[in-house]
Amino acid sequence: MATKTQTLKGILRLPLQKRAELALRKAVQGVIEEHARLGLPLHIGRAGKVVKLSPHKVRALSRSTHRK
């Protein structure tokens, strides 16, 4: 198992674009988890339109992102 330092060095070797993508994905996952924990709806973009997800759907989405 890699240590935190080894993982950080591995990330720093990635191109800036890939590191930015990883940071964005982590931030989005955090927002999903926070909305699920607080029972808040979440607004997302789908097919060029803004869609409101109910707190129930946000919780389901949070559970599915935890498995990945």
**DSSP state string for 7-47:** HHHHHHTS-HHHHHHHHHHHHHHHHHHHHHHHT--EEEEET
Question: Tell me, what's the pLDDT at 51?
Answer: 96
Domain boundaries, the chain: 40-68
Q: Residue 53 contacts by C-beta under 8 Å, 6 or more apart in sequence? A: 41, 42, 43, 44, 61
What is the per-residue pLDDT for 17? 96
Give the pLDDT confidence score for residue 8 in this predicted structure. Answer: 75
List, run by run, the mean pLDDT of 10-residue segments along the chain (68 residues): 71 92 94 94 95 93 72
pLDDT for 10 equals 84
pLDDT at 2: 65
